[in-house]
Amino acid sequence: MAEAPEHAPEHAPEHAKEEGRGLATDFSRTMSYGGYLDLDTLLSAQRPLSDKHDELLFIVIHHVQELWMKLIIRELEVATACVREGDLRPAFKGLARVSRIQRQLVEAWDVLSTMTPADYLAFRDVLGQSSGFQSWQYRLMEILLGARDEFMLKPHAHDEALTARLRAAFEAPSLYQEALRLVARRGVPVPAAVLERDPALRHEENEGVVEAWATVYRNSTDYFDLYELAEELVDLEDAFQQWRFRHVTTVERIIGMRTGTGGSAGVAYLRRALERRFFPELWTVRGRL
Ligand code: HEM
Ligand SMILES: N[C@@H](CC(=O)c1ccccc1NC=O)C(=O)O
């Protein structure tokens, strides 16, 4: 390992010590905008493979979305731990932030939709068989929220460290399972089969869980924080669906009914994904109140 630069204090993160970036005790003297943000790395990462004008837009949109996903993942991990502890205030703060980031993700489709079929087809070939299927951060978001399907891990099987991270999340209780466990701890009956379900198994819609949420909603003054949590989860799923919807409409206007580079049916596959729900009972209960 490289010697830590002299000006990096003991408490500095390892990466900063190794790289010798900033972290001087006298920040004003050594810190710069580009150095602090490591802009050289960030701005050298957009490397189109063709000379077509819109490939840069395509890359930038993906980079921006992946950066926002990085932040969402962190907030979801922290919020899940807080729900597990029954500490809902910080969970609400994090989930509110997630909702605002999701708005950015949804809005970003407007920028991409300025790309015409001809603009995209001009460079689509360079993508080969690569595809959004391979976005591990997208999968991790889905897993943290409660999606469970072995196919999600497959594209990453060649990467041991990544598979270990995805599998750890896959085998841990999701945000939703923690929420249901909290509802039970607060005295609202939730079927034991749901609470004790192996977290790696898919959550199937459960009538007892619909009843539990109905109790929370009908007695919202007694369970105000659980009611608020339920509404935050609905916001999150609503925005996730909006993202999926804008993805599929943008895809349709750009490539029509072509098959995807990842080998799926394309639009037809993406439309089916719109039917998947993370928190099915929170939607069903709305018709029962
Ligand atoms: C021209 C723009 C785009 C087109 C034509 C497109 C097309 C597609 C298609 C056809 C699929 C299905 C998999 C396949 O067979 O390839 C897919 C999946 C996916 N795309 Fe895109 N996409 C575009 C932009 C984006 C952007 C900007 C993102 C943001 C990160 C993204 C993220 C994803 C993800 C995460 C999946 C997997 C979805 C799932 O399995 O549920 N795509 N895309
Ligand atoms: N699946 C897209 C290709 C694609 O969109 C893509 C390719 C490489 C990296 C990110 C991509 N974005 C999302 O699917 C297509 O069939 O044209």
Give the model confidence (pLDDT) of 215-236 as tens digits.
999 999 999 999 999 999 999 9
Residue 61 is assigned to a ligand binding site? yes
280 CB near ligand 2 (under 6 Å): no
**Which of the listed residues 50, 130, 259, 269 should we mutate to test ligand 2's pocket, taking the one with most ligand atoms within 8 A of CB?**
130
62 is in an annotated binding site: yes
How many H-runs (helices) and E-runs (strands) does the chain carry?
15, 0
List Cα–Cα distances, 204 to 22, 44, 171, in angstroms: 50, 45, 16
pLDDT at 69: 98
pLDDT of residue 25: 62
* Ligand 2 atom with the shortest distance to the CA of 262: 1
Domain 55-287 falls in which CATH fold? Methane Monooxygenase Hydroxylase; Chain G, domain 1 (1.20.58)
What is the whole-number distance in angstroms between the Cα of residue 148 and the centre of ligand 2?
23
Q: Which residue minimizes the CA distance to atom 41 of ligand 1? A: 273
Known binder of ligand: residue 59?
yes
Question: Using CA atoms, how far apart are residues 15 and 37, in angstroms rounded to an integer?
Answer: 13
The string of pLDDT tens digits covering residues 48-90 is 999 999 999 999 999 999 999 999 999 999 999 999 999 999 9
Can you give the pLDDT at residue 29?
Answer: 81
User: CATH 1.20.58.480: which residues of the chain?
Assistant: 55-287
Which numbered ligand comes closest to the C-alpha of 252? 1
Task: Tell me if the pTM is above 0.90.
Answer: yes
Report the amino acid identity of residue 249: T
Q: Is the pLDDT of residue 10 over 70?
A: no
* DSSP state at residue 198: -
User: Average pLDDT over the chain, rounded to whole?
Assistant: 94
Given a cut of 80, whether residue 271 has pLDDT beyond it is: yes
Atom of ligand 1 nearest to the CA of 266: 10
pLDDT band at 44 (very low <50, low <70, confident <90, very high): very high
For residue 204, what are its two tokens?
């199937």
pLDDT at 5 over 70: no
pLDDT above 60 for 3: no
Q: What is the ipTM of this complex?
A: 0.97
